[in-house]
Structures are given as C-alpha cells and as structure tokens.
Amino acid sequence: MKVLVAGAQGLLAQKLIEALTDACDGRADVGVSVSDIFIDDGSASDADLASFCERADFVFHLDGLSLGTQANYAACLKYTNKLLAFLNRANNDCPVALASCLSASGIGEFAGSGFGAYKLAEENLFFNYSQVMNVDVLVYRFHEILDVTSLNGNGRVGKLVFDAAYGGSFDLESPMEQVTFICADDAVREMLCALAGNAHHCDFLGLKPAFCDEGQFCAVHRMYESTLCHVAEVLGRIKETGEVLTQTDADDGLTAVLATCYTATLRLA
C-alpha cells in the first residue's frame, strides 16, 4: 500500500510518519503492508503532489490542527481544495482521512471561533468530495490531544503537566471546568486502524461521540474525562509520591497516562 501524508506538519504528522516508516521497514505490524510513504508538508511542487495523488492507495490530510490567522486558514483551505482536485483529476477513488477537531462543531466554547469555521469548511469540502467521487472519507473530530512536544506544554492538560514537572503553580481560572482529552499515541493508533479498514465511526451528540458503524464522523475510542481541578490534584500526587494512590485512578487510566506524560516531560529538560 502506498500512503500519502498531506499537510505533514506538527505532532500527529510526525508520529504517524514514524509509525508508517516502521511498518514500511518491517519493524512494526499495522495490519496492512506499507510499501511507500509520500510526504507533503506544504512544500511539494504541484507536479509532485499530483504524482502522489495519482499513486496513493490511502491519503491522510493532517493540515491545520493549530490556531492561526484568517490568512493561514484561507491558505489551508486552498491547499485542501488542490489536494482533492488532484485526486479527482487522477480519478483516484482511494479512502481519504481528514484530521479535524471539535472546534468545527461550533458548540459551547467553540461558538464563533474563526478556527472552528475554517475546520467546518474543510470538513464540508471532504463530504462534498465524497459525494462527487463516491469514495470513502474519514473525518476525524479529535478532542484535545495530550502529548509532550515542547517545554511549554500543549492544551489545557498539557500545560498542567508542564506546571507540575517544572515547579509552576496550577493557575486554574475555572477549576471545575470539564475537560476531555485523548493521547497522541492513541490518535495515531486510530489512524492506523483506519488504514487497515477498521476506523471507529460515530455521530456526535453535542461534543460527545456516539460510536456506530454508519456514523458520519470518526473519533478516537479511548478518551479521558475529568475536571481541571482533579487533573491538577492527580498530578500533585504523582509529583509528590510517584505512585498511583487510588484504585479508581488505576481503573480509569487517568493517573497512568498523566504519570507517563509527567515523566516524559521531565526528560525534556
């Protein structure tokens, strides 16, 4: 299988490319045989991108998962249009997966978001492409992603992990705020499941995925739900003792994933 990773910038792209490279080199089993990986981080020429689109058996489009300006959003949409146009021109009916996020919902904290409007427009491009070309599109609405990518932390939970690791105080303006997050490694595993034809489809009830075989969207099945206050409390215990203190924490996996991220963050210094 030949795989195109388009919009190959940022955390998920890096991790996905590493996993695909391991599969291509025979170091990992991802459920399918990967023979070639085409990568475009936005710098490929139109001729190269067109060639990638002609030869690909599966396309991941990971562009635009971070905040930017309206000009950035317009450029990302232009790139998405070009990618889909090249696939259309090549008459390539391979599956195409898009990395989107909850901002596209426009619900709650995401209401009125320029970033959310851009991601929704990108989703609609994919759904329209699916209808025109009669191909499978997998639109992933990712929750907040937790991973160690820099010394600044990422996202609300990532910032709390950073503060715990480097001695900062937990600055919680809304301590009882609910947060749902996923791990970057789980997101990559889910994308590899999609590559093997085993994506987790869902519909969204508000911001919560309801998993079903015929769902319009896709999502990562393993999620962690808590309040910011509880996340800070667990991180404080991890920092103090380095141990899982309650069976509840051990059962829901929250402490384990926070401890792993906390330890990894310490190694970044």
Q: Say if 135 falls within a structural domain.
A: yes
Q: Which residue has the higher pLDDT, 262 or 193?
A: 193
Q: Give the CATH number, domain containing residue 100.
A: 3.40.50.720
In which domain, by residue range, is 238 found? 155-178+226-266
Phi-psi region of 206 (alpha: psi -120 to 50; beta: other; left: phi over 0): left
Q: Does 173 share its domain with 116?
A: no
Q: Where does the pLDDT of residue 156 fall: very low under 50, low under 70, confident under 90, or very high at 90 and above? A: confident
Structural domain total, the chain: 2
Q: Say if 207 falls within a structural domain.
A: no
Give the pLDDT score at 246.
53
Q: What percent of the chain has pLDDT over 90?
A: 61
Q: Where does the pLDDT of residue 150 fall: very low under 50, low under 70, confident under 90, or very high at 90 and above? A: low
Q: Does 65 share its domain with 172?
A: no
3-state secondary structure of 91: coil
pLDDT tens, position by position, 72-97: 888 899 999 999 999 999 999 999 99
pLDDT tens, position by position, 162-211: 888 887 777 777 888 889 999 999 999 999 999 999 999 999 999 999 99
Give the pLDDT score at 248.
54
Q: Does 130 share its domain with 22?
A: yes
Q: What is the mean pLDDT of residues 14-21?
A: 94
Q: Say if 9 falls within a structural domain.
A: yes
Measured distance CA(143)–CA(212) in Å, rounded:
18
Dihedral, CA atoms, 56, 218, 108, 256, nearest 10 degrees? -100
Q: Does 11 share its domain with 90?
A: yes
